[in-house]
Amino acid sequence: MQLDKLKDKLPNTHWVLIDNLSQVIESLSINSEPVFAFKQHTNPRKFYNSYIDFALSVYVDKFKQLYNSLAHSLLSEQYIIYAQSGRSIIENAATLRYYSRQNEFAQLFSSWQGKEYNMELHNNAIMLLDRLARGSRFSWDAFIEGRFKDLSKIPDQEHLSQTNIKTCLTHWQKDSPNLESLYDLLCDLVHPNLGSNFLVLKTLKGELVAGGNEGENISMFIICPTLAGIVGAYKTIQESLLKLEGYKLADVRGITTIVPSSNIWH
């Protein structure tokens, strides 16, 4: 994707963000190419490792689409789409970060190195992967089966209840205090508030106008300070992907390092 045209819209102090956004999209495009199937291996270790690959690939593909949408929205000056994509990137990054730092993965990995390995630790880690890949606050089974009268905010399997996004964000905000303000702003930009109204307003002949195809959009005063945070979130995304992949179990117990299944996220 050619993003150099965006440099005409942003001050030169922000051009590095455009270059970074291009690199993020290129990295995600390359690393979303491998195909990982969801397989019910009879071997618990193989099933666990393949589930990690599958779950991470789901998130890589989502981030690829979201960052692509972010870039397209800037090129086409569809700034409400920009805000929606940006907010979704932050929420997905927060969720991935939250799960990648759960103790159950570290406990299973440590037990694999010693003599404490047991299926309870294995099952705890699988349940976390279930929530990462299949967690929800919606009764998808009822929807898929056409039981529309049974639709609710509760998943059919209790353990699949997704962690509240506020919980995930709170954990991240402890290390990144500015994240709270960024997320609050993105929320105002996607709700029917002043923020989202700003994103469609223009100036024409010295007047503030809505509608029509003429005039200059006023959204740059919002885009410039938020783009840095959204693009910068990719560093946390990389760290979380690598952290979770690092919990895969080696073929032989007692080996403390494994070779990643791909060059993903580097």
Q: pLDDT tens-digit profile of 70-83? A: 999 999 999 999 99
Residue 79 counted as domain residue: yes
Mean pLDDT within 139-159: 89
Residue 6 counted as domain residue: no
Which candidate, 166, 172, 173, places its Cα nearest to that of 240? 172
Residue 266 CB contacts under 8 Å (≥ 6 apart), including other chains? none
Taking the C-alpha atoms of residue 43 and residue 194, their distance in angstroms, rounded to an integer, is: 54
Residue 260 counted as domain residue: no
Task: Write out the residue range of the structural domain in which residue 32 sits.
Answer: 11-245
Residue 2 counted as domain residue: no
User: How many domains does the chain contain in total?
Assistant: 1
Mean pLDDT within 79-99: 97
Sheet of 202-204, strand order = 207-209, 202-204, 216-217
Rounded to two decimals, the pTM is: 0.90
Task: Report whether pLDDT(260) > 80.
Answer: no
The better pLDDT of the pair 193, 113 is held by 193
Residue 112 counted as domain residue: yes
Amino acid at 95: T
Mean pLDDT within 149-154: 90
Residue 258 counted as domain residue: no
pLDDT score for 252: 63
**Two structure tokens written together for 153:** 């905010």
Residue 45 counted as domain residue: yes
pLDDT score for 253: 56
Taking the C-alpha atoms of residue 236 and residue 131, their distance in angstroms, rounded to an integer, is: 20
pLDDT score for 113: 80
pLDDT score for 39: 83
